Amino acid sequence: MTRTGPGVLLIVTAALTGVLCCSPALAANPLPDEASPPAAMVWTAPDQEAAKKRAAEVVPFVLAVMDECRLCRQQRLRDMGLSVQDQSESYSLLDSPIIRETEDHYGPVRFMHAKHAGVTKDCALCHHYRPLDEAASETVRCSACHQEPFQKDHPERLGLKAAYHQQCMGCHREMDKGPIDCRGCHRKNVPDHKDHLQLVEGAGPFQVTAECLRCHKPAGEDMLKSAHWLWKGPSPYTLDHRKDVELGKATIATNNF
Amino acid sequence: MTHYAAPIKAKFWTPGVVVLAVLMAAGAAAIAARFIGGIGYVSNLTTARPWGLWIGVDVASGVALAAGGFTTAFLAHIIGRHYYEAVVRPALLTAVLGYTFVVLGLLVDIGRSWAIWKPMLYWNPTSVLFEVAMCVMLYLNVLYIEFLPIVVERFKGRVKLPGLLAVLNGPLDGLLKLADTVLPKIMWFFIIAGVVLSCMHQSSLGSLMLIAPTKLHPLWYTPMLPLLFLTSAIAVGYPMVVFEATLATTSLKLDGEMNILTPLTRVTLFLLGLYLALKVGDMVVRGTYVYLLDFTAQTNAFIIEVLFGVIVPWLMLLSPKLRRSRRALFIACTMIVGGVLVNRINVFVVGYRPPISEANYFPAIGEVLVTVGLIAALMFVYRFIVTYLPVLNKPEQEVSA
Amino acid sequence: MGLNRRNFFKLVTAAGAAVAGSDGAAHAWQSRAPSDSVGCLVDLTRCIGCRKCEEACNRVNRLPPPDRAFEDLTLLDKKRRPDERTYTVVNRHVSGEIDARDQLVPTFVKLQCMHCQDPACASACIVGALTKKENGTVHYDVSKCIGCRYCMVACPFEIPAYEYHDPITPRVMKCTFCYERVHSENKLPGCAEICPVEAITFGRRSDLIDAARQRIKKNPGRYIDHVYGEKEVGGTSWIYLSGVSFERVGFNALPETPIPRLAESIQHALFSYLWSPIVLFGMLGGVMWASKDKRDRSGNGKKGGGQ
């Protein structure tokens, strides 16, 4: 009943690259710049590309952590002179292959590491333990300790997905800030419609619309109440603050035909 | 003291029989609806209340009230009280029909009626229901064999099939003659087997509900449930005979047979008393009398069951004068029959209360129609058979008795 | 009358003795629970009520689409039960507890088949369509089922549901513990795999009980000191941890005795090797033979049962 099999393999194969790239967070590693566009004229955000690359890494599993209370850890970090100033990455994409292995329902979360650190001003809030290995960095990424769920030898170690969710949602709830629903952080993947569609070859626009409406009837009904259909309508966001905001061609254009 | 049974010489289509036919038609419609729309279409059965009227009445009560068959067989054939032979055949017919309709009721109730043979192939010895099913199946066959001599007696030497089928007259008659010589020699086996099988499944019918300790109300849930079911089934046997004989002899204007029925109920006095003692003793030992004044549907049903189904008729039977009165005896026996009926309904339906969903159940009109239709059909077939087969005592007996 | 009465006595005492004897035999009753089964630990303090487990269950078991979308969280407040189209449901309970911001603290409770160690349904099933598998699953084999619904009568958790609206081939519907996925494909049950917060921990049952005890020990303020399903009805494969008393979130108090124990003990005491029917048959045969003799001697002159 072990579920570590494939995971262990992954870790082993990824170990070499992992060791290289799992840069100790505090030993500031300059951003690798080779993520810039190749020959083609497609522009990509360099930090996004870097984050994608980092997200794809699987780092070696931390077998044991130092047993210390949160207060002890906070004090020790302060004594060592470490603070949120020392972070190396300001932005991460939470898109680990460990989770991708079983899940494909939501898009990855874009996590503003620096902003969160700035708000909480406390590394130990998320980096709640350090590896027992003294050679290791003081803070490691979540997926160093949290990988596949339900590992036989680490019954109380959460899997990566649960660790993310418990940490993020727990803190958001506690601080009464930040989203705690799915779509607050994730974009929902549009499921593959290939099997659902019943369209004949060379269907016209009306047939396509009718086919969409076959399942998404409420979406069609909603559309009939929107400014897109009515040519005018109240703004959903400013309604209670400024009364006169109206949207739609009928309200903002004088000669609207 | 001799007697002999004979077909009834009476008009078949009386108004009563017409009423039965109408009820049967309604039941047939409900059964058709069940096999078109599913059990859910005609019943109020749910996840939490999977057994309802059909199991409580058609099956559990049907089996209990068919107990007249084995109790009279025991009396007349095993311990040799041939004085009571006169009631054996009607009681046997009641049992044959009762069990046949139990199976018909089951066919309506179980979801996959076509799979009813599967318990013969896939055995689960831990299942009480498996044992009940096996016993009922075997007992039904035993009952048919026990009934066979009546058919043989009627048709032996008188097989006259019409038209082309006439070629079969000879072989069929031979078969009947063979049965006539063989059956009496082996009948002892089936009579004993019938009593044994009855004792087994009558008691196990009570064990059925032992699997639901959290659901069945403590007034009924007792490890003694199988014993209570067995004693009540044995106790209801003779009252059922009285009930059914009185109804039959009244409606067919036959001899009231009081000279047989009255002594028959003396045994009942003891058996019913035993059942009452066990029931009250169990209640006292387990301390469940604390529930008696709860005034919930369950406790009220229990009080009705014991008071009007056991105590009152038992007190009535205590009086020899009442026992000799045809009317009083009929009332007492009807109450006993009703008491066992209510007991079975209580155990399987009223007393069954799922604690999590607390789901309530009341039979749907469709369920009632099926049950009423099946009972009407049973009475119809009974009426039909006594008209054409020698089951009931000949009216002339009134003179000679 | 004497003979008659004596024999009824015999009948009754034979049955009575057997029932009484079953009390002794009850000690001989052996649990047939598999020794190394898997299970799930549901931590109600972790569950966030997202209904993803319901969605995953529906998907991996190919159940019919729901009436309301799984994203619709308003359904949580309706006290739902698993039914013939839904193997698992999550309900929201409020115990009256209030958090720092005066908000009622909800407790979400996932319901599904508990996969009892000694399942009443499997003991009851007339054809053995329900069986306890070696890995802990209580498995339903539709090819044997006759639809008697005795399993539903037996289940102390009121879980098995029935396709009442199928006239010919209705099935008993209940959580499969994703038997194929877990047993053959070495995957997790759909619900345990998708749960975003690991409110469902999958593992060996014995490990889960240890883990549950550890959680209570490490965080006594968070949990009440009770692992539901560790002992209830002799133990279940699905066990629960809660922050509020289990009675307040819809669990009923259950005995620690396995449900099938009494019925099986009685059946075993009465019918092992069919001893009681054989003895009864012999007894009745003897009586029949003896009374036949008597009748031959006395002809028809006796006043049976006289008044």
- Dump pLDDT digits (tens) for C149-172: 999 999 999 999 999 999 999 999
Contacts of C53 in chain A (CB under 8 A): none
**Of the candidates C46, C50, C188, which has its C-beta nearest A3's C-beta?**
C188
**Of the candidates C194, C197, C211, which has its C-beta nearest A155's C-beta?**
C211
Specify the higher pLDDT residue, C307 or C224.
C224
Residue A39 has a pLDDT of: 58
Nearest CA in chain C to A153: C207
**Of the candidates C162, C270, C304, which has its C-beta nearest B81's C-beta?**
C304
Contact C203 A180 (CB under 8 A): no
| Signed CA dihedral, B209, B214, B220, B224: sign only | positive
CA distance B322 to A149: 79
Nearest CA in chain C to A165: C197
Contact C195 A162 (CB under 8 A): yes
CA distance A252 to A25: 52
Residue C54 identity (one-letter amino acid): E
C-alpha distance from B37 to closest chain C C-alpha (Å): 6
Question: How sure is the predictor about B165, in pLDDT bands with cuts at 50, 70 and 90?
Answer: confident
C-alpha distance from B22 to closest chain C C-alpha (Å): 25
In sequence order, the 6+-apart residues with CB closer than 8 A to the CB of B296 are none
Q: Is the pLDDT of residue B301 over 90?
A: yes
SS3 A41: coil
Q: Which helix (H) or strand (E) holds B290?
A: none
**Of the candidates A150, A165, A180, which has its C-beta nearest C203's C-beta?**
A150
Domain covering A57-185 in this structure, CATH number: 3.90.10.10
SS3 C190: helix
* pLDDT tens, position by position, A69-92: 989 999 999 999 988 888 888 899
CA distance A17 to A40: 27
Residue C300 has a pLDDT of: 43
Q: Which helix (H) or strand (E) holds A111?
A: strand A109-111
Residue C209 identity (one-letter amino acid): I
The domain ranges of chain A are 57-185
Q: Are C15 and C212 in contact (CB under 8 A)?
A: no
Q: Which residues of A152-171 are buried (b: 16+ CB within 10 A; e: fewer)?
A: eebbebbbbbbbbbbbbbeb
Q: Which helix (H) or strand (E) holds B300?
A: helix B297-306
CA distance B250 to B258: 12
Q: Is the pLDDT of residue B11 over 90?
A: no
**Of the candidates A149, A169, A176, which has its C-beta nearest C198's C-beta?**
A149
Pair type for strands C200-204 and C38-43: antiparallel
Chain C residues in contact with chain A using a Cβ-Cβ cutoff of 8 Å: 38, 46, 48, 50, 101, 135, 186, 188, 192-198, 201-204, 207, 210-211, 214-215
Selected residue of C81, C126, C252 to mutate for chain B interface (largest B Cβ count, 10 A)? C126
Q: Is the pLDDT of residue A7 over 60?
A: no
CA distance B71 to B195: 7
Q: Are C119 and B126 in contact (CB under 8 A)?
A: no
Contacts of A150 in chain C (CB under 8 A): 188, 192, 201-203
C-alpha distance from C158 to closest chain A C-alpha (Å): 29
Structure tokens at A127: 């980096």
Interface confidence, given as ipTM, is 0.91
C-facing residues of B in 336-395 (CB < 8 A) are 352, 354-357
Contact C288 B38 (CB under 8 A): no
- Nearest 5 degrees, angle CA B121-CA B122-CA B125? 120
Selected residue of C1, C3, C4, C251 to mutate for chain B interface (largest B Cβ count, 10 A)? C4
| Mean pLDDT, residues B345-364 taken together | 93
CA–CA distances in Å: residue B332 to residues B310, B325, C92, C276: 9, 10, 54, 34
Contact A150 C202 (CB under 8 A): yes
| Mean pLDDT, residues C56-64 taken together | 95
Contacts of C193 in chain A (CB under 8 A): 102
Residue A3 has a pLDDT of: 46
Residue B65 has a pLDDT of: 92
Tell me if there are at least 3 CB pairs under 8 Å linking chains A and B.
no
Count of CB pairs separated by less than 8 Å, B with C:
253
Structure tokens at C62: 């190919």
Nearest CA in chain C to B320: C307
C-alpha distance from A57 to closest chain C C-alpha (Å): 21
Q: In what order do the strands lie in the sheet with C200-204?
A: C200-204, C38-43, C238-241
Q: Is A81 left (phi over 0), alpha (psi -120 to 50) or beta?
A: left
In sequence order, the 6+-apart residues with CB closer than 8 A to the CB of A161 are A98, A99, A103, A149, C196, C198
Domain range enclosing B188: 3-400
Which residue is it, tokens 């192939």?
B121
Tell me whether residue C65 is exposed, middle or buried, using C-beta atoms within 10 angstroms of its C-beta: 0 to 12, 13 to 18, 19 or more.
Answer: exposed
CA–CA distances in Å: residue B244 to residues A66, B87, B240, B251: 85, 10, 6, 11
* pLDDT tens, position by position, A90-105: 899 999 999 988 888 8
Q: Which helix (H) or strand (E) holds C193?
A: helix C190-194
Shortest CA distance to B306 belongs to which of B336, B282, B284, B351?
B336
Residue B263 identity (one-letter amino acid): P
CA distance between the termini of chain A: 68
C-alpha distance from A237 to closest chain C C-alpha (Å): 23
Residue B264, chain C, CB below 8 Å: the answer is yes
Q: Which helix (H) or strand (E) holds A207?
A: helix A205-215
- Neighbors of chain C by Cβ distance (3+ pairs < 8 Å): A, B
Residue B148 identity (one-letter amino acid): L
- Work out the number of other CB atoms within 10 angstroms of the CB of residue C16: 17
CA–CA distances in Å: residue A100 to residues A96, A97, C61: 6, 5, 21
Tell me whether residue A85 is exposed, middle or buried, using C-beta atoms within 10 angstroms of its C-beta: 0 to 12, 13 to 18, 19 or more.
Answer: exposed
Contact C46 A161 (CB under 8 A): no
Contacts of C186 in chain A (CB under 8 A): 1, 3, 5
Contact B111 C146 (CB under 8 A): yes
Q: Is the pLDDT of residue B15 over 90?
A: no
Q: Are C83 and B48 in contact (CB under 8 A)?
A: no
Question: How sure is the predictor about B56, in pLDDT bands with cuts at 50, 70 and 90?
Answer: very high
Q: Is the pLDDT of residue B368 over 70?
A: yes
Residue B358 has a pLDDT of: 85
**Of the candidates B84, B213, B227, which has its C-beta nearest C15's C-beta?**
B227
Q: Is the pLDDT of residue B232 over 90?
A: yes
| Average per-residue pLDDT for chain B | 90
**Of the candidates B84, B231, B357, which has its C-beta nearest C158's C-beta?**
B357
Shortest CA distance to B36 belongs to which of A155, A101, C168?
C168
| Mean pLDDT, residues C93-120 taken together | 90
| Mean pLDDT, residues A212-226 taken together | 88
Pair type for strands C38-43 and C238-241: parallel
Contact C259 B127 (CB under 8 A): no
Q: Widest CA span of chain C, in angstroms?
A: 96
Sequence length of chain C is 307
| Average per-residue pLDDT for chain C | 86
Question: How sure is the predictor about B66, in pLDDT bands with cuts at 50, 70 and 90?
Answer: very high
Q: Which CATH number characterizes residue B334's domain? A: 1.20.1630.10
Residue B110, chain C, CB below 8 Å: the answer is yes
Residue A14 C-beta-side C-alpha neighbours within 13 Å: 22
Residue A245 has a pLDDT of: 61
**Of the candidates C192, C196, C201, which has its C-beta nearest A165's C-beta?**
C196
CA–CA distances in Å: residue A74 to residues A71, A79, A172, C205, C218: 5, 9, 20, 37, 21
**Of the candidates B83, B115, B209, which has its C-beta nearest C304's C-beta?**
B83
- Neighbors of chain B by Cβ distance (3+ pairs < 8 Å): C
| Mean pLDDT, residues C122-134 taken together | 95
Contacts of C81 in chain B (CB under 8 A): 47-48, 356-357
Shortest CA distance to C142 belongs to which of C119, C125, C118, C117?
C125
Q: Are C260 and B125 in contact (CB under 8 A)?
A: no
Q: Is the pLDDT of residue A162 over 60?
A: yes
| Strongest mean pLDDT among A4-18, A182-196, B52-66 | B52-66
Q: Which helix (H) or strand (E) holds A92?
A: strand A92-94
* pLDDT tens, position by position, B307-325: 999 999 999 999 888 888 8
CA–CA distances in Å: residue B59 to residues B120, B305, B371: 19, 19, 10
C-facing residues of A in 128-157 (CB < 8 A) are 149-150, 152, 155-156
Specify the higher pLDDT residue, B196 or B7.
B196
In sequence order, the 6+-apart residues with CB closer than 8 A to the CB of A18 are A11, A57, A58, A59, A60
Domains identified in chain B, total number: 1
Tell me C117's DSSP state. S
Contacts of B188 in chain C (CB under 8 A): 285, 288
Least trusted range by pLDDT, from A43-52, B6-15, C98-107:
B6-15
- Work out the number of other CB atoms within 10 angstroms of the CB of residue C10: 14
C-alpha distance from B394 to closest chain C C-alpha (Å): 20
Shortest CA distance to B363 belongs to which of B19, B20, B30?
B30
Distance of CA B62 to the CA centre of its chain: 4
Which segments of chain C are extended strands (E)? Answer: 38-43, 89-98, 104-111, 130-132, 138-140, 161-162, 172-173, 200-204, 238-241
